[in-house]
């Protein structure tokens, strides 16, 4: 069943009510929330960038934020296995880093992939971090990308006004 006027990129609320004879309208209705994306559709070709495990979203500047791994969980919602899947990430507007997930990832299966190229966040700032899959013919592009800001905040050492001499 298709509902005209819905947008797959936003949350929609959908409600129906009964219509009776003589133009009588039902008074009770239950609304349901439809999250963005394609729901309850059989899709022949769909890759889902499900979870970004690393890097984390927040770091203190006293933490070594160089050479951090980029690790993602990828789900194959296709009806067939997928191999040689192109995946990429980008920090701010810097160069895109692309690598290949050799696979195969079974139909309905998932895999955790760690890029060979690490990332670095050299100074206190909020970085725009994006990771995505590039599957030609993907019929559900709404789950192909994870946008995750990474914050590196300034920290400082403090002296507490307390001491213990154990006497």
pLDDT tens digits for range 31-86: 887 766 666 666 778 888 989 999 998 888 888 888 999 999 999 988 889 999 99
DSSP sequence for 112-163: EEE-SS-B---SSEEE-EEEEEE-TT-S-GGGSEEE--EEEE-------S--
When pLDDT is averaged across residues 90-115 and rounded to a whole number, the result is: 94
The whole-number pLDDT of residue 94 equals 95
The whole-number pLDDT of residue 104 equals 94
Q: Confidence band (pLDDT; 50, 70, 90) for 2?
A: low
Rounded alpha-carbon distances, angstroms, from residue 34 to 4, 9, 92? 14, 11, 31
Look at strands 129-134 and 125-127 and give their pairing. unpaired
CB 38 within 8 A of CB 69: no
The whole-number pLDDT of residue 100 equals 97
54's CB contacts (< 8 A; 6+ apart) are 68, 69, 70, 71, 114
The whole-number pLDDT of residue 22 equals 82
CA distance 144 to 72: 12
Judge whether residue 1 has pLDDT over 60: no
Look at strands 145-147 and 12-16 and give their pairing. unpaired
The whole-number pLDDT of residue 66 equals 87
Q: Confidence band (pLDDT; 50, 70, 90) for 16?
A: confident
2's CB contacts (< 8 A; 6+ apart) are none
Angle at 108 between CA 147 and CA 98, to 5 degrees: 40
11 vs 157, more confident = 11
CA distance 53 to 143: 16
The whole-number pLDDT of residue 54 equals 92
pTM of the model: 0.72
The whole-number pLDDT of residue 110 equals 94
Locate 20 and state its tokens.
């009776």
CB 110 within 8 A of CB 50: yes
- Closest alpha carbon to 47 in 106, 116, 125, 118: 106
């Amino acid at each position: 069943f298709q509902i005209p006027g819905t947008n797959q990129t936003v949350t929609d609320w959908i409600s129906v009510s009964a219509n009776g004879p003589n133009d009588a309208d039902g008074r009770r209705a239950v609304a349901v929330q439809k999250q963005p994306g394609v729901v309850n559709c059989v899709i022949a070709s769909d890759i889902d960038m499900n979870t970004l495990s690393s890097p984390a979203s927040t770091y203190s500047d006293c933490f070594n934020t160089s050479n951090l791994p980029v690790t993602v969980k990828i789900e194959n919602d296709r009806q067939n296995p997928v191999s040689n899947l192109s995946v990429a990430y980008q920090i701010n507007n810097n160069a895109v880093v692309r690598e290949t997930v050799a696979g195969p990832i079974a139909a309905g299966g998932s895999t955790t992939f760690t890029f060979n190229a690490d990332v670095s966040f050299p100074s206190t700032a909020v970085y725009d971090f994006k990771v995505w899959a590039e599957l030609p013919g993907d019929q559900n592009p709404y789950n192909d990308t994870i946008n995750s800001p990474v914050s590196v905040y300034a920290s400082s050492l403090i002296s507490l006004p307390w001491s213990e001499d154990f006497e």
